[in-house]
Chains A and B, each alone.
Chain A
């Protein structure tokens, strides 16, 4: 695989850019792999990458029913942060954020990580007290955050309105090292690196069944034939319930639609990410100039990748109150992704009742930021058969044991 560099671009300019090769290969599946990962989104590809990179396991296939990165990896609002209240969450999200910092160099692929800073607005006294508590928790966890007063919010984000009629801005939890990255590039970069290690990435290949022998997984049936495997990793987000059903167990997960939308591109006006959790909306500006907007999730089980219309109205209404200057912006596109919500709004990285079958799901509304850390922890779980320190707390048995990692209380909403 030729390395990408400024020199490579200059060299290829002299041959009309005819020398570029496909970034990852599209092979036909073999009949056996040591590890099969279901789901070629960010989390699945990162899992495969760290299996090869950290543990030398390279006889790996990543199979995907659609196209690579076409699920939630390509449907999120690209926010990266790690200002969580609970220790296990802060540990894995901070690991992930730290991995993002050097990911472009590591993968030799520009994921356009932009540590522009993320602020979460405090718009009620209750929310302010909550963030002051999170600030102190983050200090103990080694996550750099700071509660900033309204004047500093205005300085960092001049287009914001501090004295809205319903919810004035009382301050914000500011994480200067948070930011955004190019979502597709994260999937493409991992895919290229996996392919470079000799792994197979098989798109347009749906899993139709899971076979087991003596209580352990032995093969998966797919639309491209039967594939035997030593170990199986299920990393399919919103469709985890369907895969778990094939593998013969149930999950504490419900799937709902979460929406996002983008405006027409405008000149640079906002160089931070702002999340307003009380009014349920968040916004940042993409490198193309579009305002990227996310909001609330549906309350009912839903696989439509569309979402309910009234959520858009609520989100846009809230954001216009916070950013009056966007009131006449036209919206270009709206879409939905199917997010897998657990009871405590924290993910599952776990062994399953089926031997040699592992699952990584339940990232809910906040999976993109976790891609590198999630892959790092999941790869360790698959390679060793036992979770490492990052994954241990996220076992699916925590629900039986009453060991919740309750981010639904800590974060309240979309994250």
Chain B
């Protein structure tokens, strides 16, 4: 079972206490943007085999949205971090790069 740590309240719990929220760090496009930018923002997803940055909500806990880096093949959680950022923390990126040498990096 997937085990996550909420970066806000510090609780470590099983996945049933959290709700998944899909891909993280999406750049928002709204009125005035091109159709293809809006389509990509709304629907197209990286859906990688491997390192994935994603949103989670501590739904049955403190209720906060947070972000996590996880491997979609092994389910290894590299780390979680607060949602008040547009990029993952540098030390987390370094940890992932060390654990997954063939990871193509942030795109």
Contacts and interface: CB of A to CB of B under 8 A. Distances in A.
Interface of A: 239, 241-242, 245, 250-255, 299-304, 308-310, 343, 399-400
A303 B15 contact: no
Contacts of B74: 304
B20 A300 contact: yes
Given A241-B47, A399-B39, A310 B16 contact: yes
B43 A310 contact: no
**Contact count band on B:** 20 to 34
Contacts of B44: 250-252
B75 interface: yes
A256 B47 CA distance: 10
A338 to B, nearest CB: 10
B52 A299 contact: no
Name which of B40, B43, B52, B54 has the most chain A CB atoms within 10 A of its CB: B43
Interface SS majority for chain A: mixed
A343 B22 CA distance: 12
B77 to A, nearest CB: 11
A309 B45 CA distance: 26
Given A299-B19, A308-B2, A399 B75 contact: no
A250 B2 contact: no
B36 A400 contact: yes
Nearest to A240: B47
A304 to B, nearest CB: 6
B67 to A, nearest CB: 13
Given A302-B75, A308-B15, A310-B16, A255 B2 contact: no
Q: Would you list the 3 A-B pairs with minimal beta carbon distance, nearest first?
A: A252-B43, A241-B47, A300-B20
A301 B72 contact: yes
A358 B14 CA distance: 40
B106 interface: no
